[in-house]
Structure 1
Amino acid sequence: MHEKDHSEALKARIKSPKRASRRMSMLLGAVALGALTTGAMLQSSFDVGPTPAYAQNLSAQVPAATSAGFADVVDHVKPAVVSVRVKVAVEGASAEGFDLRQFGLPEGSPFEKFFRRFGDEGQRPAPRRYGEAQGSGFFISADGYVVTNNHVVEKAREVEIQTDDGKTYSARIVGTDPKTDLALLKVDAEGGFPYVSFARNAPRVGEWVLAVGNPFGLGGTVTAGIVSARGRDIGAGPYDDFLQIDAAVNRGNSGGPTFNAAGEVVGVNTAIASPSGGNVGIAFAIPAETVQKVVAEIKEHGAVRRGYLGVQIQPISKDIAEGLGLDDAKGAIVARVEGGSPAEKAGIKTGDAILAVDGHEVKNARELARDIAGFAPGKSVDVTVWRDGKKREISVTLTKMPGEKTASAETGEEQGGKLGLSLAPASSVDGADKEGVVVVGVEPGSPAEERGLRSGDVIVSVGGKKVETPQDVREAVKELRKEGRKAVLMQVESANGARFVALPIA
């Protein structure tokens, strides 16, 4: 490779292969991690329940690849791959719903805050503008569960899927996991959908793979290549562990499956390295093992629960290993122990080298992050540390990761629907006051969004009662329902001041 060509290649950036442009920056160099505030996924298998007699597990019917190529494999698995079409709100309206342009005022005008805070309560919000985005996905069960990428649906107002035979269905988002860029959808329609299975074993470097998806909105497209590498960290998130493949993957392939020669899913296509936005032979897929764990958690709990140890760590270099008296540069050294964390309560100290968790040897800091959060909150684990020239076993009871979405303010299925809010105690959110409940998510199209609630707002009281946790909000709503109220009055504080918001609960 010429020096100029090599220089140009180094400019390649990681970006999501989605039709709507999305760029993800590659993180370079060593990172001093607050890594155990995050982690990998709970290790559990995805249970799709009993299979209806009319359903077809397409992966189980795939014949071995022949000299004719992969045509037989494609014939069997392609019906399970779908196009995911998303209606998204276009940015541009002001944050509180007022369109300042109707008053002849540009964005950023000195009067903007005035209109947002003191504008006519009866003013109708400016109409939203909507655009469309497309990605890919695939059925994993006969009853309509579909896997795709989080970045395909994260701003969705509406979601629909189109099958290989041209049929279109509405889909709802069961849950998402931004940290691994995965989402689980559900098509609520009668009939057994053709589906595919996940591979039991990880692919080896050099094995053939097939990528199936909807590149550039063209519809079902198949490309072939090999697994180029495993365990890639591309800086896309805290748990990067990608398969690198050279099968052609482009925008619109996001969320589509990568198959092995047996027709089993070995990964979910999620990113490409490209200076131009097109395929250059380097694509990245989330391994099937990770996908199964995340999907199982979302299906059961609506979100991924991750264990929390509460330490900041850094890799152990050869020099650090020599300074600690370790034979190998493996594991992770504790740079800081968070106050009040499970680690502090268990007796882990700054300077300890963590070598293993529950008997599993830790190779590096990133692996430790994944291992710790692979356990459910409340799990007791044995952490092997190196301190003062000898090994010690320390039992630690993990807790839930602070700052994660802790609950949805659901009124309960038996009570009819939800408010459309995801909440967390203010005390667990960095930068928030210690009182109240912080809005960390607002469902598109929900009553909460329609009435101007935004992420970052703090709910101080509900129905006149102070609230400190999402559970307090749910209980207050339930009580008001029992009293026959048709709306709940919330006292909300934001950067624009305090206000009251009435949400319908009938």
Structure 2
Amino acid sequence: VMARTTTARAVQHISDLQAAMPRGWIGIVAEGAGGLPRVERGEMIIRYYSYPRIVSVDPSSPAQRAGLAQSDTLLAYDGRDVRENDISLTRLLRPNATIRVRVKRDGRVREVPVVVAEVPQRVAVRRDGEIRMIRATGMSAGTEMLMEGPTFPRAPSAPLPAMPRIAVRMPSAPSAPAPPSALSFSFSVGGVAGAQLTTITEGLARTVGVRYGVLVTSAPEGSPANESGLRDGDVIVKIAGQPVRTVPEVRSLVGITSSNGEHEVELEIVRERRTRSVVLRW
């Protein structure tokens, strides 16, 4: 019964994500600390905890035609500060709508009107691939939850693929599809609860005195991660008792907990070569 309930919940969540996906696209990739994307009232919502920086602009995209540039700092959409407000990507990215993108460049604030375009075919293909990946990941996690009990699934036995950077558009499809992490849809961030994470290398693992783990590269003040006690330089080694070796594993475990209606999970971290426990709340 538990497996059927979990599977049904995963299927419903995937359906919600599909229905909430924005139909429009402007062609920028913005990188910064943010929370997990979520679906509320049929809309995909994202929240930033620091002002993101535009790291790429697609050639011939609406953003490029409007004059947005790499290294611009994203401040607001249609007058709504991206750090102080939830942003509905579903409502924002409507084909043929004109949105005002406020950015800072070389110390000066600019308001740039951008006309939203229809999602290109290559982006639609990428979305389909991401949905298939999420469906496969979700079904596997649902089965493992029955084996482990009601609290948490077993961590994946093999490392998951590297996750993409945060984006307000779907990046151009690479020559071979790049598998996303759960809930990504190219709107995700490289971490959870506002913290930026990176998979630790063997060399760095030896330096900090761990065999494996995920490094917290940034836990901005005001983010749920920081308020929960995570700090820059911490290494996450377990989530709810399950070892984690990659960022996608962390996101998958936290994401499943969130989809189960939970708002906290225990982390085992290593800080200054000492193991300690932190309860991550969001």
Fold shared, TM-score > 0.5 on shorter chain: no
Scaled by the length of structure 1, what TM-score is found? 0.24
Could you say which structure has the greater relative contact order, defined with CA pairs below 8 angstroms and 6 or more residues apart?
A: 2
Q: Which has the higher strand share?
A: 1
Higher helix share: 2
